[in-house]
Amino acid sequence: MARAYKWLGGIGYILEFIPYAGFISSILIAAAWILMGRDTRERVFTILGVLMLTTYILAIALIIWLILSFLSVAFVGAMAITPETMIMPRRMGEVFGKLFAWLLGVVVAGLVLAGLAIAVFILDIVAHFRAGKIFDNKWFKISGWVRIIMAITIMVAIPLTVFMIISAGPSMLPSIPFGPSYGAILPFFLTIFWPILIVLVIGLLATIFSIIAFFTIPEEAPPAQPSS
């Protein structure tokens, strides 16, 4: 088991750098944590793996549902809104009622998915520190600390970016020439979104340390830990 989750986790985190490999990456990483939890009897690992799979499946289901439901609502609206029905309040009320129900469903599903993502993020940090202790592996601990730094950076970067867009955006937009002048557009976006860029760099480092951590797990399985 130790060799299985060692390679599954390492390869899974490597695939995060490859475009369009997110599906395979998420499955491999989740499977690695689940197998690690089974091998060490550490519930945090197992719960993290299960929540990772659940969140990813729900995200895919939400995207599919959004596309199909939006097309359905748009079709109903297009069929219902005609010159004749525009003067029928009851008919228009039904159309807007369906649209409101769809928007409410989007908000609720988004909040549920966001809650799961936050739970996965927190458990991911806990699991890295726990794995560092079980395997006496400093790279898991380093990755855990980098993830904590990333969480703090995200909380600072989001409001800072919003503030910069609101304040600096309108004053800088007129200075951007129209046309394919990417030399002027790129500095503009870097000026506005540099906090997000810092978050991405920290996330990149966290992933690299996780890759090293999994690949440096001892070949021998560690002694089983008591359930926690």
CA separation for the pair 139, 225 (Å, rounded): 20
Residues (pLDDT < 50) of the chain are: 86-87, 174-176, 179-180, 227-228
Give the predicted TM-score (pTM) of the model.
0.78
Q: Three-state DSSP class for 227?
A: coil
Could you count the other beta carbons within 10 Å of the beta carbon of residue 147?
24
Q: Identify the residue whose tokens are 């297009």.
A: 78
| Of 60, 198, 55, 213, residue with least CA distance to 122 | 55
Please state at what angle helix 182-215 crosses helix 2-15, rounded to 10 degrees.
180
Please name which of 133, 123, 138 lies closest in space to residue 210, comparing C-alpha atoms. 138
Asked if 210 and 147 count as a contact pair (C-beta separation under 8 A), the reply is no
Ramachandran assignment for 52, one of left (phi > 0), alpha (psi -120 to 50 degrees), beta (any other):
alpha
Six-digit token string for 228: 């926690």
- The four Cα atoms 170, 174, 180, 182 give a dihedral, to 10 degrees, of -60
What pLDDT, on the 0 to 100 scale, is given for residue 212?
96
Question: Where along the chain do its domains lie?
Answer: 2-215
Q: How much is the pLDDT for 188?
A: 65
pLDDT at 106: 82
